[in-house]
């Protein structure tokens, strides 16, 4: 599989598991302009490392926003509420995401 062999445009995000092991899940997510529904917040029990490999996106946290462009990455600690406020449509936003419990000493949002 190649990260950039993208599925046809869909009305919702397309998530594809790339690797699953105990305590670790890696996914590719493709967004064609989709964002989180109004009032919806992710509140995950796992840490999430995200890397935007194509396009751009705006992540909103309760007290601040983070604009991501191609190559930007960050670690979102477990239980830090966040949402996708905006994502590019053309080109689509392509995310590489790792979920698990990571070293809290690492740089986070």
Query: What domains are defined for the chain?
Result: 14-100 (2.60.120.10)
Mean pLDDT of the chain: 94
Contact status, residue 97 vs residue 91, Cβ threshold 8 Å: no
Alpha carbon separation from 71 to 8, 15, 30, 32, 54 (Å, rounded): 23, 19, 15, 18, 7
- CA atoms of 89 and 92, how far apart (whole Å): 4
Query: What is the band of 107 on the pLDDT scale with cuts at 50, 70, 90?
Result: low
Q: How far apart are CA 107 and CA 85, in angstroms?
A: 22
Q: Count of CB atoms within 10 A of residue 106's CB?
A: 10
State pTM to two decimals. Answer: 0.89
């Amino acid at each position: 599989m190649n990260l950039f062999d993208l599925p046809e445009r869909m009305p919702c995000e397309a998530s594809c598991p790339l690797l699953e092991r105990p305590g670790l899940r890696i996914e590719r997510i493709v967004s064609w302009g989709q964002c989180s529904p109004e009032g919806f917040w992710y509140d995950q029990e796992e840490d999430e490392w995200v890397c935007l490999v194509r396009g751009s996106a705006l992540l909103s946290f309760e007290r601040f926003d983070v604009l991501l462009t191609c190559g930007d990455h960050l670690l979102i600690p477990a239980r830090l509420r966040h949402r996708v406020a905006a994502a590019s449509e053309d080109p689509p936003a392509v995310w590489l995401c790792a979920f698990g419990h990571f070293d809290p000493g690492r740089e986070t949002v």
